[in-house]
């Protein structure tokens, strides 16, 4: 496991270095909101990648839109437009809340 601590770079440059170490976005789990899907696994995998590669919350929330597909994309953009920028924890709670709704399944 490689954890990088770079102090001579700007905040943005440091984030770019961290994301270079992480798997490419196409390798991250995607969620469509269709059929039987293990949403807990989706969330846990993202948390694991974040922890393993020391990815800051702001980078996870920046790529979150790319991890949702189909109906979940519309849901994400609606929530994002209404509520603005939030942390990973906030988004995780929104996903859990949505999972409790029968219309989601």
What is the model's pLDDT at position 88? 87
Do 23 and 55 form a contact (C-beta atoms < 8 A)? no
β-strand partners of 68: 31
The residues spanned by each domain of the chain are 50-105
Do 29 and 43 form a contact (C-beta atoms < 8 A)? no
- C-alpha distances out from residue 23 to 28, 34, 48, 67, 91, Å: 7, 25, 12, 13, 21
Do 56 and 18 form a contact (C-beta atoms < 8 A)? yes
pLDDT tens string, the chain, 105 residues long: the values are: 555 554 555 656 666 666 677 888 889 998 877 766 667 888 899 999 999 988 888 889 889 889 988 888 898 899 999 988 888 899 888 888 877 664 544
Classify residue 51 by its DSSP letter.
H
Distance CA 72, CA 34 (A): 9
What is the model's pLDDT at position 101? 67
């Amino acid at each position: 496991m490689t954890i990088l601590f770079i102090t001579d770079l700007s905040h943005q440059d440091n984030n770019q270095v961290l994301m270079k170490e992480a798997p490419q976005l196409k390798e991250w789990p995607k969620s469509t909101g269709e059929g039987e899907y293990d949403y807990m696994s989706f969330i846990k995998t993202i948390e694991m990648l974040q922890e393993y590669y020391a990815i800051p919350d702001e980078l996870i929330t920046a790529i979150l839109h790319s991890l949702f597909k189909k109906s979940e994309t519309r849901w994400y953009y609606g929530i994002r437009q209404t509520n603005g920028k939030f942390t990973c924890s906030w988004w995780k709670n929104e996903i859990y809340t949505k999972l409790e709704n029968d219309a989601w399944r």
